[in-house]
Structure 1
Amino acid sequence: MAVRPILTWPDDRLATQCAPVTGPEDALIADMFDTMYAAQGRGLAAPQIGVLKRVFVMDCGWKEGEPTPLAMINPFIMAAERAEEIGPEGCLSIPGIMVSVSRPRAVTVQWTAPEGDIHMADFDGFEARCIQHEFDHLNGMVTFDRLDEIARRTAEAHYKEMNT
């Protein structure tokens, strides 16, 4: 399909709540996978390419040699483990910046697959972190929004310095 340009922060579209998907999105999903792999990412949400729809793709295993591509349409986090874990996160829309983000270690997610089937599954570890990161994008959030005020100011200043 096609590699699309990835929006970078502070583009307003990255802060926009996305609309539910109402029909097939095969071409969009194919483009999203192509774009994610070309950018060396492990996840990509539709708003990151300027499409304000509730869909994201991920592949947490491909860099280690075992591809695990997954597309989630209209995902919903049904449950999250109470205990949180702090871990590093990068974002294709905030290139060059890694921040420490606290997130639940495990989540239960319901989503529609590209072929229209509804799925529900439990995810933990890095997959759970990736899902929550991409889910945030669908709700108009980026990693900066998960930081306390001081950490956010520091990360934003570093990002702006890198891009001036």
Structure 2
Amino acid sequence: MVLASWATRVARRSLVGASCCVQTSVHMRRLSVAAPAHGPASCSPKRAVSQGHYLPLFVRPAALFRASLGERTYSTALEWKPPLKVITYPDPRLRAPNRTIETFDGTLERLASDMLDAMYQCVVHDGVGLAAPQVGVNVNMLVMNEAGTPEDGDEIVMVNPEIVELENDLESFEEGCLSFPGIYADVVRPSAVTVKAQDVAGVWKTHELDGFKARIFLHEMDHLQGILFHDRMEEEAMHGIEPDLAALEEAAGGDVRVPGEMPDVFLEKMIQASHTLLNVTRELKRNAMLNDFESRNSQVDEEAARLKALIEERKREIKALEALALPSI
């Protein structure tokens, strides 16, 4: 499907990015146009931010628990088998860490080309952006083309992208994702972003993105950080897609692990076993203290009995001496 123009895209629900977005009406809801709370009204309309932290994340408890398990080591080889296929949630590679690319050669160029091909082949969902982990390659690279076809728009390849500034204005927009087929919901994101990234030759470039391009990039950038679009949904939107997420999880056998992790059910059992062991340990310590106390009491009783017997013996000796004593003169 050819996405001819912005006006056409915003008028059609089928307009979805690879991990990107659709809009059901021409007007987006502006949620905030005020200056930042921490600065004066005259401050710059943009602000420096840490990557991926422009909004609170509504991360599911399982994801939070997995995040607490710490970093893991993954293969650093840039390997894949063409043709690339988009993986779907809850494939663990969508949550796995993505390594920095340090080698810029023909292999990287082929990966970028294969990713664009995979994005364009998703004609049903009109792919306009794709991150490397979405094709099972856990490296920091994304591709995008707002037009969704190789004949139109600008193909952009970003390697090791970094967010420099984000617009304070926030916009709500219905998004879809190739890794979540058939699932759409509103996500709030900044309306513009400044990015620096390397190209396939390793040259650093700065990109000023706004509107639909900014949204495409921010969605794909989230993928590079292991953040999925439902992690940024507000509670109401999240509730609306929970049955669809559950269906994808069930279809995948319910295994949403990051490589090297145990299934959540095993983790829960381990936690229960740990609590049981802790309780048993406390009970053993308490019993040991009681036994020690009882032992000490027994020793005291024995010593008291010995002293009592000694006192009785001394009393008998005194009486014997009194009996032998001569009468007074």
The aligned amino acid for 2:120 is Y
More strand by share: 1
Larger fraction in helix: 2
Q: Which residue of 2 aligns with 1:38?
A: 121
Which one has a bigger Cα radius of gyration? Answer: 2
Distance 1:133 1:3 in 2: 23
Q: Which residue of 1 aligns with 2:91?
A: 11
Deviation per CA, 1:22-44: give whole Å up to 9, x if none: 11211111110110000130000
Unpaired runs of 5+ in structure 1?
none
Give the Å deviation of 1:83: 1.3
Q: 2:191 aligns with which of 105, 108, 112?
A: 105
Letter in 1 for 2:121: A
Q: Quick check: 1:94 aligned with 2:180?
A: yes
2:103 to 6, 15, 23: 23
Structure 2 spans left out of the alignment, 5+ residues: 1-80, 252-329
Q: Tell me, what secondary structure is at the counterpart of 1:72?
A: strand
Q: Which has the larger displacement, 99-108 or 144-153?
A: 144-153
What is residue 203 of structure 2 aligned with on the other side?
117
TM-score (norm 1): 0.92
After TM superposition, the structure 1 stretch with the greater mean CA deviation from structure 2, 12-21 or 72-81, is: 12-21
Of 168, 186, 189, which residue of structure 2 is paired with 1:82? 168
Q: How far, CA to CA, are the matches of 2:148 and 2:86 in structure 1?
A: 20
| Paired residues, number | 164
What TM-score, normalized by structure 2, do the two folds share? 0.47
Counterparts in 2 of 1:63 and 1:105: CA distance versus 1, 3 Å: same
Of 151-160 and 99-108, deviating more is 151-160
Q: Report the RMSD for the aligned CA atoms in angstroms.
A: 2.0
Aligned residue type for 1:151: A
Which letter maps to 2:209?
F
Q: Secondary structure at the match of 1:97?
A: strand
